[in-house]
Amino acid sequence: MDQNHLCYHYTTGQWNGESNAAHRHLQENFAMEQPAQLKQLLNASASVLALAPMQDVTDLSFWRLMAKYDGPDIYFTEYFRVHPDSRLEKPILRSLTENPTNRPTIAQMIGNHIPSLVRTARELQQHPLAAIDLNLGCPAPVVYKKHAGGGLLREPRKIDTILGALREAIKIPFTVKTRVGFDDPKVFDELLPIFARHSLDLLTVHGRTVMEGYRSAVHYDLIQRATETVPCPVLANGNVYSAAKAESVLADTGASGLMIGRGAIRNPWIFRQIRQQQNAEVPFVPTGQDVLAYVHDLFETTRPPGLREKLQVQKIKKYMNYIGLGIEPSGDFLRRIRSAQTEHEFFTICEDHLQHNQPMPLEPMDLDLKPVDVLAGEHR
Ligand SMILES: Cc1cc2nc3c(=O)[nH]c(=O)nc-3n(C[C@H](O)[C@H](O)[C@H](O)COP(=O)(O)O)c2cc1C
């Protein structure tokens, strides 16, 4: 049966006019397309660019927005929490079933209960996705104290067992996103042979320990060690904020590609700029007006239907923490933004700073930040 003659409805999961058996067969084939696309990308000579998973940020609407700006090659979901009573969280699942990016998507799981992880991996494979990822890096105390996410990096043997069980259960590509240790990167030497043993399809390394949070220097040398040790492709992650930085991180680590998080919130053109730089073209430089248009886009795209103005103004401030780092160095912009209450006030402040056609800086500025700034909340 030829899938091209049929119409697949993402929202209903139905193929027009087909019997259930044929529907299932086709759905399986459809789901197989993304793994093949991912493998092709990982085997290609060009560096792979991935959008990092970011809880409460990289949802369906944010993916849609990134795709509009010539976004990454691969998209990760926010993490699915996995425990004995967990069910696939519907809003995250929608990112997979309605995938607006036309690119391979990877579903991330976080948890440590092996039967639940295996069950969830099997359920996820019923949906269109390229791969399943295990989170070994989340530094939120509420997560690591339960021995999940980054907390598991204290227990290499448990990781070994989890990876063994998941590798057996996952018939599509299986990937891991890790930090370099819990409080000491020495454990990375113990972790690498474990990652190497389980036939992973991709390893992403955020080059910090759990205790180093998000603001320390990144151990690019350890990412390089990973690229030399594990047989699968490695994505380098941490502080890639510009095409110039992307080039130096790729050169320093020998990684097959990059995963970018906060840099993409601040600068949605970053993926395009990196590709341009790699093709020896001059990277696109946004003007103040371009950034202003992006903020308008972000405001509208991330606004859930019916959300009250005041709540959307509060919501947008989360993204502005990152965008503000590229706007002016004194911190005045961010201070004013944080006090805005209405859409009018919010955009008046944005216009004061961005209503111009001057080029914007490509690197973020060195603002004097408080520890809670930029990573307010759980991800401190
Ligand atoms: C707001 C926020 C939420 C995050 N949520 C996740 C997550 O759900 N899963 C995960 O593996 N990492 C998560 N991270 C970590 C990022 O994926 C990434 O590893 C980290 O931000 C470093 O990359 P960057 O310097 O490019 O931002 C989160 C980071 C931030 C800032």
Region 283-306 average pLDDT: 96
**Assigned domain for 294 exists:** yes
Residues 152 and 299 in one domain: no
Question: Cα-flanking dihedrals φ and ψ of residue 359, to 5°?
Answer: -65, 145
Answer yes or no: is 27 within a domain.
Answer: no
- Whether residue 308 is predicted with pLDDT greater than 70 in this model: the reply is yes
> Is 240 touching ligand 1 by the criterion CB < 6 Å?
yes
> Residue 1 falls within a domain, yes or no?
no
Q: Are residues 78 and 161 in the same domain?
A: yes
Distance CA 197, CA 180 (A): 17
In ligand 1, the atom with minimum distance to the C-alpha of 238 is: 25
Task: Give the burial class of 201: count Cβ atoms within 10 A of its Cβ; 0-12 exposed, 13-18 middle, 19 or more buried.
Answer: buried
pLDDT in tens, 6-41: 322 322 233 333 334 444 444 455 455 999 999 999
Name the residues annotated as catalytic: 138
Q: Is 108 exposed, middle or buried (0-12, 13-18, 19+ CB in 10 A)?
A: buried
Ligand 1 and 106: CB distance under 6 A: no
Residue 223 lies in a domain: yes
| pLDDT score recorded for residue 32 | 52
The CATH number given to whatever domain includes residue 132 is 3.20.20.70
Does residue 4 fall inside a structural domain?
A: no
Are 60 and 172 within one domain?
A: yes
Distance 39 CA to ligand 1 centre (A): 23
Q: Are residues 41 and 155 in the same domain?
A: yes
At residue 106, the 3 state secondary structure works out as strand
Q: Which of 262, 320, 369, 375 to probe ligand 1 with, by most ligand atoms within 8 A of CB?
A: 262
Least Cα distance to 246 among 278, 215, 287, 209 occurs for 278
Per-residue pLDDT reduced to its tens digit, 254-284: 999 999 999 999 999 999 999 999 999 999 9
**CB–CB of 195/170 below 8 Å?**
no
Identify the domain containing residue 220 by its residue range: 34-278
Cβ of 68 below 6 Å from ligand 1: no
Out of 278, 293, 309, pick the residue that ends a domain.
278
Last residue of a domain, one of 278, 312, 344: 278
User: Do 242 and 299 share a domain, yes or no?
Assistant: no
**pLDDT of 96-111, one tens digit each?**
999 999 999 999 999 9
pLDDT at 318 exceeding the cut of 70: yes
Residues 6+ apart with CB under 8 A from 377: none
Domains in the chain, number: 2
Instruction: Choose the final residue of a domain: 278, 300, 330.
Output: 278
The pTM score is: 0.90
Instruction: Please list, in sequence order, all residues whose beta carbon lies within 8 angstroms of the beta carbon of residue 180, skipping any fewer than 6 positions away.
Output: 188, 205, 206, 207, 208, 209, 219, 222, 223
Q: What is the pLDDT of residue 372?
A: 58
Same domain for 308 and 344, yes or no, is yes
229 touches 347 (CB < 8 A): no
Distance 357 CA to ligand 1 centre (A): 32
Asked if residue 139 has its Cβ within 6 Å of ligand 1, the reply is no
> Residue for token digits 């111009």?
356
pLDDT value of residue 377: 32
Same domain, 128 and 255: yes
**273 shares its domain with 167:** yes
Ligand 1 and 179: CB distance under 6 A:
no
Q: Which residues pair with 175 in a beta bridge?
A: 133, 202
Residues 263 and 303 in one domain: no
Q: Is the pLDDT of residue 347 over 70?
A: yes
The pLDDT score that the predictor gives to residue 3 is: 34
Flag whether 20 is in a domain.
no
pLDDT attached to residue 24 = 47
**Averaged over 210-239, what is the pLDDT?**
96
Residue 206 in any domain: the answer is yes
pLDDT exceeding 70 applies to what percent of the chain?
A: 88
In a shared domain, residues 202 and 249:
yes
DSSP assignment of 181-235: -SS-GGGHHHHHHHHHHTT-SEEEEESS-STTTTTS---HHHHHHHHHH-SS-EE
296 CA to centre of ligand 1 in angstroms: 24
Q: How far is the CA of 12 from the centre of ligand 1 (A)?
A: 31
User: Are residues 162 and 78 part of one domain?
Assistant: yes
13 domain-assigned: no
Ligand 1 test: best mutation among 79, 206, 258, 378, most atoms within 8 Å of CB? 206
Tell whether the model's pLDDT for residue 244 goes beyond 70: yes
Residues 173 and 262 in one domain: yes
Q: How confident is the model at residue 331 (pLDDT cuts 50, 70, 90)?
A: confident
C-alpha of residue 58 to centroid of ligand 1, in Å: 10
